[in-house]
Amino acid sequence: MLAGLSPRTVDRPRFPGPANRNSVSVLTPGRLCYDPYAMVKKLILATPRGFCAGVVRAVDVVRIALEACPPPVYVRKQIIHNAYVVDELCREGAVFVDSLDQVPSGGTVIFSAHGVSPQVWSEARSRSLNVIDATCPLVTKVHVEAIRYSKRGYTIVLIGHEGHEEVVGTMGEAPEATVLVSNIEDVQALEVKDSGKIAYLTQTTLSLEDTREIIAALRQRFPMVQGPPSEDICYATQNRQLAVRELAAVTDLILVVGASNSSNSNRLVEEAINSGVPSHLISDVGKIRQEWLQGVEAVGLTSGASAPEVLVDQVVAYFERRGSRVEDLVTREENVHFALPPELRQPPNQLHVLS
C-alpha cells in the first residue's frame, strides 16, 4: 500500500563531508574501510509495529501490581520476550524467577503473557500464592480450544516451536492428546489413532505462510482434520508480517528490532528474507553493523510485538544523524485493547488469593 508512504518533517542534523565520496575505499591491500559518510537516503518505518495489545496488557499488569501489592512482586519467566523491558521492570521492583519454588508461600506472582500449563496453576494453589494472570487473551483462546478438543476425544496437532513457553503451556492442557509439529516433515511422519478425530491448533506467533503450508499438508494427509473457528495466529503477528512484505517492495534492507528469543520478531526477519530483501534482527541500535548499509539507499525498519518503541526511536535517531530522510509506510491501523485480569479490578487489599 504505497499510498501510505509519507515523509516526516523533522530537523535532521547531518555529518559534514563531500556528498560524492565512494561508499567503500581501500585503506590497505586486502582490507576495506567503510566510509562513515556513506549515507542511506531513506529510512522507512513500518506501521503497525512494536507492542501488541497483549504485551501492553502484560506490562501494565506488572506495573499496576507493583503499586497495588505489598512487595516483593514476583514474575514467573520473562513477562514478555524482551530483555530491555524486563530490566526496566526489575529497576521498578519486579523480581523475575524461573520457577514457583523461588516464590515464598503466600507471595504474589504474575504469570507471563505466554501462558502456563494447569500443572503450574496447581502448584500455585498448593502454595497459596496470590496469582495475577497476565496471559494474553489470544493465548488463553488456544488453551480453551485444546481443552474443548481433548474432551471430545480428539488428537490435537499443535503447530509450533518446541520449547517455546507458549507451546509448553498449551500442550500442558492436554498432554496425552497433543502432538507437536513444526514443519511439513513432521506432518508426514505423524501417526494418530483415529484419523477421523484430529484437530489442529497453532502457536500465536508463527509465520503465516509456513503455517498455511503445514495446515495444507495436514488437510492432505487427514481430510477430516478440524481447525479452530478463527485463526490462532494473532492479529498483531499477521499485521506486522504483512507490513514487512510491503516494506520489502520499497527497501534494500530491513532491520527488525526485537529479542533473539522473540518468536514473532524472528518471523519478521524470515518474512523479509522470503520477500527477497536482506534482513537482520537487532536488539538495539548498538547492534547495527556499518557493512550492512554499504550500497543501501533505503532501509526499512520494524519491530516485533514485544519490542518497546524507545528502541525504535534510537534507531531512527541513528539514521537521522547520518542524514537519512524518515518516512512512514502505513499498511493498516490497529485499535485492539484487552481488559486487565480480574485480579487487578479489585481494591488492592482484596486481591484474589487462589484457593
pLDDT (tens place) for every residue of the chain, 355 residues total: 333 444 343 333 322 222 232 233 233 333 344 455 468 999 999 999 999 999 999 999 999 999 999 999 999 999 999 999 999 999 999 999 999 999 999 999 999 999 999 999 999 999 999 999 999 999 999 999 999 999 999 999 999 999 999 999 999 999 999 999 999 999 999 999 999 999 999 999 999 999 999 999 999 999 999 999 888 999 999 999 999 999 999 999 999 999 999 999 999 999 999 999 999 999 999 999 999 999 999 999 999 999 999 999 999 999 999 999 999 999 999 999 999 999 897 655 444 433 2
- Domain 53-137+338-350, classified CATH 3.40.50.11270, yes or no: yes
Instruction: Check if the beta carbon of residue 308 is closer than 8 Å to that of residue 84.
Output: yes
72 burial level (CB within 10 Å; 0-12, 13-18, 19+): middle
Instruction: Enter the C-alpha cell of residue 275.
Output: 520477500
The one catalytic residue among 88, 92, 145, 166: 166
Of the candidates 9, 24, 38, which has an alpha carbon nearest to the alpha carbon of residue 323? 38
Instruction: Enter the C-alpha cell of residue 13.
Output: 542534523
Of the candidates 124, 210, 135, 130, which has an alpha carbon nearest to the alpha carbon of residue 169? 135
- Domain 153-221, classified CATH 3.40.1010.20, yes or no: yes
Instruction: Enter the C-alpha cell of residue 259.
Output: 529479542
Q: Rounded to whole angstroms, how far apart are CA atoms 286 and 294?
A: 17
Instruction: Enter the C-alpha cell of residue 245.
Output: 512484505
CATH for the 2-51+235-330 domain, from 3.40.50.880, 2.40.50.140, 1.10.357.10, 3.40.1010.20: 3.40.1010.20
Residues with Cβ within 8 Å of 154's Cβ and at least 6 positions away in sequence, in order, are 177, 197, 198, 199, 226
166 assigned to active site: yes
* Amino acid letter, residue 337: H
Residue 299, beta-bridge partner list: 43, 253
pTM of the full structure = 0.86
State the Cα angle at 329 between 325 and 331, rounded to 5°.
Answer: 175
Domain residue spans of the chain: 2-51+235-330, 53-137+338-350, 153-221
Residue 7, beta-bridge partner list: 327
